[in-house]
């Protein structure tokens, strides 16, 4: 049996609170999972978030799996475009927001949709009724990245407000993804 890969948790804007699935998963994994630490969660700067991902990945003893949600998906996609060099084992991306959508936070205006294919194995998890990104737009992002797609039905933005709680189904998806790397 192989040892599970470490994770780098990349939340969205305002971080993931204690009830968010990312926080539940991080607590359950202990020191196997680390969260990025940008200088600002509420006024995110893409360069700062990229540097935070860099630091978290560099601190990992082996190539981790990036586990991103919402704005974190855009941060990871951008980071991978610049750092697709084998330092991470894979990227598990959940519920991307659409930077061109009217509800996209003004404070995150520097973040953009994915711009190119990445070699790192990547899965994009798509909710069919996400208010921050249509399924069609999310599928286009996956295509741009060259990512595989898992459609999970109507789970809104896959966050606390959508009622997924600890999201055990998502945890199983992540574990299956990581086991295949």
pLDDT at residue 1 greater than cutoff 50: no
- What DSSP line would sit under 138-172, residue for residue? HHHHHHHHT-EEEE--S-TTSSGGGT-TT-HHHHH
**Closest-CA residue to 8 (of 78, 58, 81, 70):** 58
Q: Give me the pLDDT at residue 4, please.
A: 86
Is 8 in a helix, a strand, or coil?
strand
pLDDT tier, 141 (very low <50, low <70, confident <90, very high otherwise): very high
List the structure tokens of 51.
Answer: 């540097």
Tens of pLDDT, residues 52-110: 999 999 999 999 999 999 999 999 999 999 999 999 999 999 999 999 999 999 999 99
**Across the strands, what pairs with 124?**
93, 149
């Amino acid at each position: 049996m192989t040892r599970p890969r470490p994770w780098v948790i990349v939340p969205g804007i305002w971080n993931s609170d204690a009830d968010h699935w990312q926080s539940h998963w991080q607590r359950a994994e202990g020191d196997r999972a680390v969260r990025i630490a940008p200088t600002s969660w509420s006024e995110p700067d893409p360069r700062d978030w990229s540097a935070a991902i860099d630091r978290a990945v560099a601190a990992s003893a082996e190539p981790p799996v990036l586990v991103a949600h919402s704005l974190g998906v855009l941060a990871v996609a951008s980071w991978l475009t610049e750092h697709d060099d084998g330092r991470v084992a894979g990227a598990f991306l959940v519920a991307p927001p659409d930077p061109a959508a009217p509800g996209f936070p003004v404070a995150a205006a520097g973040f953009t949709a994915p711009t190119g294919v990445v070699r790192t194995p990547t899965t994009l998890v798509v909710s069919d009724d996400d208010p921050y990104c249509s399924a069609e737009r999310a599928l286009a992002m996956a295509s741009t990245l060259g990512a595989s797609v898992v459609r999970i039905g109507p789970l809104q933005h896959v966050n606390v407000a959508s009622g997924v709680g600890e999201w055990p189904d998502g945890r199983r998806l992540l574990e299956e993804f990581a086991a295949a790397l």
